[in-house]
Structure 1
Amino acid sequence: MDAVGLQRALREAVDGEIRFDDGSRALYATDASNYRQVPIGVVVPRTIDAVVATVEQCRRYGAPVLSRGGGTSLCGQCCNVAVVIDFSKYLNRIVALDPGEKTARVQPGVVLDRLREAAEVHHLTFAPDPATHSHNTLGGMIGNNSCGPHSVMGGETVRNVIELDVLTYDGTRMVVGATTQEAWDLLCARGDRVGAIYRSLRKLRDTYADSIRRHMPRIPRRVSGYSLEALLPEYDGNIAHALVGSEGTCVVVLEAKVQLVDSPLARSVLALGYPDVYRAADHVTRIMAHHPIALEGLDDRLVADMKAVGLHTGDIGLLPEGKGWLLVEFGGKDKGESDHHARTLMEALRGEDRPPTMKLYDDPVVERHLWRVREAGLGATAHVPNRKITWEGWEDSAVPPDRLGEYLRKLRALFEAYGYGCDLYGHFGQGCVHTRIDFDLESADGIRQWRSFLQEAAKLVVSLGGSISGEHGDGQSKAELLPIMYPPDLMRAFHAFKRTWDPANKLNPGKVVDAWHVEDNLRLGVDYDPPEQPVHFHYASDNGSFPHAILRCVGVGECRKAEGLMCPSYMATQEELHSTRGRARMLFEMLHGDVLQDGWRSEAVHEALDLCLSCKGCKGECPVKVDMATYRAEFLAHFYAGRIRPREAYAFGLIDRWARIGTRMPGLANLLTHAEPFASAARRLAHIASGREIPNFAATSFRQWFARRASRPSPGRRVLLWPDTFTNAFHPDIARDAVAALELAGYAVDIPPHALCCGRPLYEFGMLDRARAYLRRVLEVLHDDIRDGTPLIVLEPACLSVFHDEMPDLLAGSAQARRLRQQSTLLADFLCAEEKSGLFPQVETDAIVHPHCHHRSVLGLDGETALLDALGVRYRLLDSGCCGMAGAFGLHPARQGISMACAERVLLPAIRGAAAQTLVIADGFSCREQIRQNTSAVPLHIAQVLRLASERANRENGDIAP
């Protein structure tokens, strides 16, 4: 195929982004499955007409087409050697929402939670809600016939689709839905391609109707094969329903009309504990008789793995006693009604011989925490310490709910026969079981064993009247198993259905029917052998292996969400390349080496990592703890090895040295950085955007002030205050206020005898050898204090995160590094841990709190919020993510737009909209600079809030403030 010609034709005909470069092709080579197929190219269309034009040009050149949304599919249906059409960036509108009719019209790229948020305004919702609801798209849900916990309330996606506007590969566009017999007759009489499609579908229906009725399981969850039952008269001959779950193999979906259902105004969650998951499963049908709106199950192995990986450990304690659990949710018009439904079930269960343990929750916050336990399944089981990596492959089988207990017992016996270990959880109310299994997908014997297991597992689930797929579809990983589930005539019917829509076999070929074998196109496979790399970090959680660390990303796509901290650059650009997942995939492709062949010198990988703000949001929020900030620093260290770095690397990476000079002559330094023509020259030299300001050096640095102050002997415990580079040089008042607070609390405050730097700016530029030297210097100078257990109080969260995160990994094996990690803390955490927060007067004021990204993701906010509570501050904790400044990131001319997009998402509008007297609290230096340079607010550090409390108390007492 003439890929160059196709690319040229697409650029001329399509209103969209045409990407045939190696980096883009590598980026879209995998989904969340075991498979990898490098696409021909990627098109990101801006309009529906652009989609039509894309298919037209692909048809001219004979290129296959793959429709794609969030790319979270687990069975390989979102990767192919095809032109990938990514709907998620632009075609993501809710076209219309009719609350009276309870319907919505949506484009394929709409994220489910955006639709649910818009519907909730009218007390409506879209019932199916997979665990990926924060970032999966409606187009993907239609392609896979997605479900989720609340399919109990409203059915799978297929039950909630009314009409589809679809396009065939040959260019035929049509709207399909329920079809009466009269409409069938009229449509079949047409002489065009639409008429031919309907005639073919009617012939298929009439030929295979009896077999469809006999052999397609009537169970709540069957997402295997095509939904041919929808063609039958008793299903209204609904062509849209027949196409739901076809995984892009038959048509391209351009728009959908979907059904909305009433959203319960109140919800109550009842947690039930059982001796094991099997007895929990035995209870499912009795509980379903009470009509819950969701019924989920999980076993003790999942809970143990969550503890092992440190995922939602605080939420696990909400579960009642047991080793297998059911989470039962009831809805109602108010709390009284939803609680009544739950209590009725509790009374019924108490009457049994061996009732389960029970806990009823009706606090929405607590309920969300419980659901987080269940939704964490994939993240908790993919990478468990000291265990093999687990994979998809048999992750969503389903049986009739009344046979679920029997199935789980037999399935566990099959796992044990093959030596597989895994957890069991899922949508038990509909008989759907989720699990990830430690398959060996890298050796010939392991792959043969995997294939054998799949055959036996398929026979087991079919013997119980079940389905090999109950939620995730067929793609490639299940397609080969369909003949075990369906007789030959139904397999012929599936082929006929595919040929009716796509006779040229150009839409997502090799999936569902005429599919690749299960062991083909493996992302790993017998040829997977990336060489171990000489690296700077030790990757202790990944067996010391950088390639193993890069396998952490399983493609779940949590980094594509629109709230929280991860991933700020994706939120700003909506580009897969700028998601944590996209960057992890580029690093995997770098190691794979066939598409990206330049290794550590890859410009494509450098481009992917360039807009990473190193916020560490992924380490805190990614369910499998991908640590992109560390991978980025590692890559940059190798990328620039033996090269001259950009000049800003030396300007900002070595800021501690320049700041040390500036504090000796602050007047001259401020003249050179703020007075023209020197200021413009300084900005050009350091590569600073013209709209950005360089902070002023303080007239007296903190270290200078501390050396000159009168000695204040204190009988209290000695503590060290860390005068970080930025606080010392630019905001010494913060450190002075911290000294006052600590002395008020009864401590003798000292500082390190020499100027030290944690080296945080060095990581942004991959200057890791120098960073390691900085850390060794810290350990050397603080040697005696570390040995003595002297607390080290740190004011800048970014500095403390070095001691807690980078330092143990760069200096693995250092007992001193471990000790420093244990005894270094933030000011608020220290005061609260020492129970000193009550010593400070009440402020009783309103405040907006913007946590530094490392504070939120690595260190935790408990101390800060506890101190603010103790001070009586009425605060709003912003879900603002990274401020966008991120050290030198926001100063760079090419990154200023992304920086401001991050800040304008939540942070800056919240500050501008607050009352004038509202405090703005931000402990991070970069955060305060972003706020200061873009609003009229004067942001405060928590130490300054403590000073305000003291001053206010002094004024009220008639004292003179210190």
Structure 2
Amino acid sequence: MTSLTHKPPRQGANNAPASEFSLRLERELAGRVHFDQATRGRYATDASIYQITPVGVVIPRHQEDLRLALDIARDAKVPVLARGGGTSQCGQTVGDALVLDTSRWLNQVVEFDVEAQTVVVEPGIVLDHLNAWLKPHGLWFPVDVSTSAQCTIGGMAGNNSCGSRSIYYGNMVHNVLELEAILADGVEARFGFVDRLAEGSREWQLAQQVRAIAEGVAPEIRAHYPKVLRRVGGYNLDLFDCQNPLPYDAAGRPNLAHLLIGSEGTLGVSQRITLKLSPLPEQKVLGVVNFPTFYQAMDLTQHIVTLGPMAVELVDRTMIELALDNPAFRPVIEKALIGRPEAILLVEFAGQDRTAQLAALAELNTLMADLGLPGSVVDMPEAGEQKALWNVRKAGLNIMMSMKGDGKPVSFIEDCAVPLEHLAEYTAKLTEVFNHYGTEGTWYAHAGVGTLHVRPILDMRRDGAAKMREIAEKASALVREYKGAYSGEHGDGLCRGEWVPWQFGEAVNDAFRQVKRLFDPAGLLNPGKIVDTPKMDDERYFRFPTSYQRIPITPVFDWSNWNVERDPLTGAQTPPGSGGDVTHGLAMAVEMCNNNGHCRKFDAGTMCPSYRITRDEQHLTRGRANTLRLALSGQLDDTGLASDDIKAALDLCVSCKGCRRECPTGVDMAKFKIEARAARARVKGLSLRDRMVGEMPRYAPFARHLGALVDGLEKLPPLSRVLKKALKLAPERSLPRFTGHFLAERQSTSHQDTSRGEVLLFVDTFNNYMEADNARAAKRVLEAAGFRVVLNRPEGERPLCCGRTYLSSGQFDKARAEAERSLHYLMPFVERGVAIVGLEPSCLLSLRDEFLQYGFGEQAKRLAESAYLFEEFLVAEHQRAPFTWQLNPLTVSRALLHGHCHQKAFDAVKPVETVLGWIPELDVSLIDSSCCGMAGSFGYEAEHYDASIQMAELSLLPAIRADNGQALLVADGTSCRHQIKDGSGREAIHVARVLAEALG
């Protein structure tokens, strides 16, 4: 098997050809088996700095698959690595092994006891999914880690996860009652309280042997195990110690399951996990304490925890500034600030009695006044604002990783935990260490338990590894001075494994080796973790070693804004493009993906619709970014962006731009797909369908004369199917009809009032030739509001076009030419202050997005600032001076609104809700939906029809059917309206038509 360019060669049995091994897996398993280079490359990384290509990937369909995979691997002497969400930050889930991904199918609730408040789950279930399932019963699993939307319970058990509220609920190990696992020899064991194990059973025998090992080093355990809540290193051998100040069970009973918690899959592969649940707090209040200095925040935390809060979480100045730069987070973080604090603490009180929680919040205000900071608390008693701010905090890692340039915050000492009384001194001294090495760290997270996430900014391609080693040594000395834990969260993995002997001493480390041999004599379960680990700075395992190279490539877009260097101490950036070859900007934009897996979420937002229907890493934003990174660094083949692997990875990307807004590091897969389509078009050429899609704006004036022919074809299904098959269009789709030419019509003015001045209505191809009623309605509404409306129709030329159809079909040069033509025509209007208002989100928003990367310079920026969607413009003008028009009630009292993906990406759905709210007696509900699935031509394409409908069936079409035809359906996107029509038989209309109807 070909390994990645900078990975050390595999040794021993694993060097044998994979064919015999992989063929047996494919033959005997019902699930998916992958041994191709691209899939292995996608599973070679997690959210750490490491990359190791696995032997292969198995996605077990059921528990029998899991057992069979382990049996086959054991026969072949191939190591195995169980993996859930792949979000580990220390390299636990990468290795030279057969990866077992349980997240797709082994994700069910097996048993539930509401009275006992317990639940049994499979390891692949996502934490947020479990808590959504439990919520109707008033219960939750309270180990609420920041990656709750994508992490799995199995991974949390492997890492001994903690979460924001561990000060109150404890860690994973305090909330697991039993664990069923397959051992290395294939035996299925059920681990639980030792006094309940059947005498003579395999579990009982293991318990006696582990107890003997632990008792042999009991003095060393008491001397070296840190006395802090947040310590997750090594194996939990202290579970037998009745003198343990932090017992894992409230009654002090030893539970052998707790030995496997935090074992990182090195002792067994989880099948089912029994969790202890807690009542869901009905009342929560939040106090945001603003501090003038970071030191004060750290020093005063020890006093705040005496109030008994459920959580005390830190956000420092750097994180605040990065959040302010993110359009999704800016309005949220601004509400939490008083002036310009250097740090804020999020202090939460929760329980069943609201009066008690409000009293606690008042007590916090009093305490801060007593400590010399009166008026420093922003009270947030309401659930909505609390949730929004917690979402910012939960995105802390991704916000921090949004820094552009090769220098990135690196995880290796971020989870050190120290007693609270030493927290201020520890952070101050560690900051001095960072300064000594010409860098800085961003601090955030669990102040209440003395575990602060901090990642020094290092460039691993240059001198980062050497600095990492020296900083780690100095940090470890501080941890030892303050009697803390080197691994306070996120486990050991590859970045902290070598520090296990340092933390626990050689005697305990030898005991760990005995435990490993007892459970896994051949060393086949996730080898190289916890015991006998490699050095943290062995760059053969780095994702970005010093040998990392980007292949030469000339992108079509201007990516120079990503090609920056950052001063790690001041944060200052060099001018775009001055940090090296400007063609590297594309690769640097791709490398912004830190593999944290936020795109795996299902609970809200748009991202990532293709993953939601496939559960396949290949069709995930993270998976695509990894594939692009591998291609751009020559780790797949020499074809770069034109490769078949890239085409396959981007095949189901609908360019929804959900990642543009929802990915906190700003990965913009829609633009990457444009680059890939253009590259492939240069090499492979264009299909007839590509040309038909791209050239639509040119042939639309003639196609409008063929309406009768199209109608006739649709009435002759055999002939229609032949035509659609020739064009590779889905036979289930109705052919689009070109019914008019709005811009060629003789325009009349419905109102003479032009007191508000001039506005240019940018009528796109779709609303000009297909749905001219939308343009007519928009013009009428704007005139009723007091504007003189001019249209985008150059004299003697064909109508203007944004070029999107060309972009989506790989014809970049034509797209840029169309954009340049539009820019030249529109700039005189922009220069005299005329707003450019559009109807189709994907077209108008191109002026605010793609136009900025064509290399048009300052003119494109000025155009973007003047470009508005129809409803955005109305809201802005109404806020400046309310309209005097009279809107009347409609014949319906309810409206269901579906937002176009690009509206969501630009936070432009709220204006639609606002203008609909102007209509008297109209109740508006926003459908909580991802992409509709049509996505321009995507839903018309024969090979994508099924995926298109599956996306619509996620929530959009069920919501429409549940309405029973009672509500008005509103959708601004042409594609959305077509999908709704084809999928439900109902008509959705543009908001402009709704307002025009309300005008009477």
Same fold judged by TM-score > 0.5? yes
Distance in 2, matches of 1:347 and 1:856, equals 41
SS at structure 2 position matched to 1:53:
helix
Equivalent residues of 1:399, 1:467 under 8 A apart: yes
**What is the CA-CA distance between 1:364 and the residue it aligns to?**
0.5
**Equivalent of residue 862 in structure 2, options 819, 825, 832:** 819
Distance in 1, matches of 2:405 and 2:265, equals 39
Q: Normalized against structure 2, the TM-score is what?
A: 0.91
Matched, 1:865 2:913: yes
**What is the CA-CA distance between 1:664 and the residue it aligns to?**
4.2
Distance in 2, matches of 1:709 and 1:345, equals 65
Q: In the alignment, which residue of structure 1 is the partner of 2:390?
A: 371
SS at structure 1 position matched to 2:229:
coil
**What is the CA-CA distance between 1:862 and the residue it aligns to?**
3.4
Q: In the alignment, which residue of structure 2 is the partner of 1:954?
A: none
Partner letter of residue 450 of structure 1?
A: M
Note the residue ranges of structure 2 that are not aligned, 5 or more in a row. Answer: 1-13, 244-251, 564-581
Pair 82,342 (structure 1): closer, same or farther in 2 beyond 3 Å: same
Partner letter of residue 578 of structure 1?
A: H
Q: In the alignment, which residue of structure 1 is the partner of 2:812?
A: 768
Q: In the alignment, which residue of structure 1 is the partner of 2:402?
A: 383
Equivalent residues of 2:285, 2:361 under 8 A apart: yes
Question: Does 376-385 or 429-438 show the bigger shift?
Answer: 376-385
**What is the CA-CA distance between 1:325 and the residue it aligns to?**
1.4
Matched, 1:742 2:761: no
Pair 709,311 (structure 1): closer, same or farther in 2 beyond 3 Å: closer
Matched, 1:57 2:100: no
Pair 309,826 (structure 1): closer, same or farther in 2 beyond 3 Å: closer
**Equivalent of residue 632 in structure 1, options 665, 673, 680:** 673
Question: Does 373-382 or 563-572 show the bigger shift?
Answer: 373-382
**What is the CA-CA distance between 1:672 and the residue it aligns to?**
4.8
Matched, 1:8 2:23: yes
Matched, 1:788 2:832: yes
SS at structure 2 position matched to 1:640:
helix
SS at structure 2 position matched to 1:519:
coil
Question: Does 233-242 or 894-903 show the bigger shift?
Answer: 233-242
**Equivalent of residue 490 in structure 1, options 483, 489, 508:** 508
**What is the CA-CA distance between 1:553 and the residue it aligns to?**
0.2
Partner letter of residue 237 of structure 1?
A: P
**Equivalent of residue 936 in structure 1, options 973, 979, 985:** 985
**What is the CA-CA distance between 1:277 and the residue it aligns to?**
2.3
Partner letter of residue 206 of structure 1?
A: E
1:541-580 Cα shifts (integer Å, max 9, x gaps):
3125111111100011110000210000001111111110
**Equivalent of residue 902 in structure 2, options 847, 854, 864:** 854
Q: In the alignment, which residue of structure 2 is the partner of 1:127?
A: 142
**What is the CA-CA distance between 1:418 and the residue it aligns to?**
1.4
Q: In the alignment, which residue of structure 2 is the partner of 1:593?
A: 634
Q: In the alignment, which residue of structure 1 is the partner of 2:518?
A: 500
Matched, 1:472 2:493: no
1:71-109 Cα shifts (integer Å, max 9, x gaps):
000001111111000000000101122110000000000
1:786-825 Cα shifts (integer Å, max 9, x gaps):
3333221100000012111011112342x33222211111
Partner letter of residue 67 of structure 1?
A: A
Distance in 1, matches of 2:758 and 2:272, equals 67
**What is the CA-CA distance between 1:436 and the residue it aligns to?**
2.6
Distance in 2, matches of 1:230 and 1:453, equals 32
Distance in 2, matches of 1:674 and 1:773, equals 39
SS at structure 1 position matched to 2:677:
helix
Distance in 2, matches of 1:84 and 1:122, equals 35
SS at structure 2 position matched to 1:792:
strand
Q: In the alignment, which residue of structure 1 is the partner of 2:180?
A: 165
**What is the CA-CA distance between 1:935 and the residue it aligns to?**
1.4
Residues 3-82 of structure 1 mapped to structure 2, 5 A cutoff: 3-82=18-97
**What is the CA-CA distance between 1:407 and the residue it aligns to?**
1.4
Distance in 2, matches of 1:837 and 1:671, equals 46
Question: Does 484-493 or 846-855 show the bigger shift?
Answer: 484-493
Partner letter of residue 300 of structure 2?
A: H
Equivalent residues of 1:266, 1:335 under 8 A apart: yes
**What is the CA-CA distance between 1:396 and the residue it aligns to?**
1.8
Q: Normalized against structure 1, the TM-score is what?
A: 0.95
SS at structure 1 position matched to 2:887:
coil
**What is the CA-CA distance between 1:353 and the residue it aligns to?**
3.8
**What is the CA-CA distance between 1:840 and the residue it aligns to?**
4.5
Q: In the alignment, which residue of structure 2 is the partner of 1:956?
A: none
**What is the CA-CA distance between 1:847 and the residue it aligns to?**
1.1
Q: In the alignment, which residue of structure 1 is the partner of 2:474?
A: 456
Q: In the alignment, which residue of structure 2 is the partner of 1:537?
A: 557
1:456-507 Cα shifts (integer Å, max 9, x gaps):
1122122211112211111000111223322111111121221111111111
Q: In the alignment, which residue of structure 2 is the partner of 1:396?
A: 415
Equivalent residues of 1:558, 1:622 under 8 A apart: yes
Distance in 2, matches of 1:568 and 1:376, equals 20
SS at structure 2 position matched to 1:526:
coil
Distance in 2, matches of 1:782 and 1:254, equals 62
Distance in 2, matches of 1:240 and 1:812, equals 62
Question: Does 13-22 or 714-723 show the bigger shift?
Answer: 714-723
Pair 710,398 (structure 1): closer, same or farther in 2 beyond 3 Å: closer
**Equivalent of residue 120 in structure 2, options 96, 105, 112:** 105
Q: In the alignment, which residue of structure 1 is the partner of 2:344?
A: 325
**What is the CA-CA distance between 1:417 and the residue it aligns to?**
1.4
Count, aligned residues: 941
Pair 828,171 (structure 1): closer, same or farther in 2 beyond 3 Å: same
Equivalent residues of 2:415, 2:452 under 8 A apart: yes
1:170-227 Cα shifts (integer Å, max 9, x gaps):
11210001102xx67x64x45xx65653443132122112211221012110011111
Residues 424-463 of structure 1 mapped to structure 2, 5 A cutoff: 424-443=443-462, 445-463=463-481
Residues 299-698 of structure 1 mapped to structure 2, 5 A cutoff: 299-321=316-338, 322-355=341-374, 357-385=376-404, 388-443=407-462, 445-520=463-538, 521-543=541-563, 544=582, 545-562=585-602, 563-672=604-713, 675-698=716-739
Distance in 2, matches of 1:727 and 1:948, equals 18
Pair 712,258 (structure 1): closer, same or farther in 2 beyond 3 Å: closer
Distance in 2, matches of 1:263 and 1:530, equals 49
Question: Does 882-891 or 445-454 show the bigger shift?
Answer: 445-454
Distance in 2, matches of 1:936 and 1:669, equals 19
Equivalent residues of 1:931, 1:937 under 8 A apart: yes
SS at structure 1 position matched to 2:307:
coil
Distance in 1, matches of 2:326 and 2:779, equals 37
**Equivalent of residue 896 in structure 1, options 924, 932, 945:** 945
Pair 648,462 (structure 1): closer, same or farther in 2 beyond 3 Å: farther
1:8-50 Cα shifts (integer Å, max 9, x gaps):
1112222211111112111111000000000111000011111
Equivalent residues of 1:144, 1:473 under 8 A apart: yes
Question: Does 915-924 or 734-743 show the bigger shift?
Answer: 915-924
SS at structure 1 position matched to 2:408:
coil
Distance in 2, matches of 1:53 and 1:794, equals 57
**What is the CA-CA distance between 1:719 and the residue it aligns to?**
1.7
Partner letter of residue 206 of structure 2?
A: I
Distance in 2, matches of 1:911 and 1:751, equals 35
Equivalent residues of 2:731, 2:942 under 8 A apart: yes
CA RMSD for the aligned pairs? 2.0
Partner letter of residue 826 of structure 1?
A: L
Distance in 2, matches of 1:524 and 1:143, equals 26
Pair 859,351 (structure 1): closer, same or farther in 2 beyond 3 Å: closer
**What is the CA-CA distance between 1:669 and the residue it aligns to?**
4.8
Distance in 2, matches of 1:807 and 1:579, equals 26
Partner letter of residue 414 of structure 2?
A: E
Pair 47,715 (structure 1): closer, same or farther in 2 beyond 3 Å: closer
**What is the CA-CA distance between 1:303 and the residue it aligns to?**
0.6
**What is the CA-CA distance between 1:759 and the residue it aligns to?**
1.4
Distance in 2, matches of 1:482 and 1:843, equals 70
SS at structure 1 position matched to 2:335:
coil
Q: Percent identity?
A: 34
1:621-650 Cα shifts (integer Å, max 9, x gaps):
001010000011101111221423233211
Partner letter of residue 839 of structure 1?
A: W
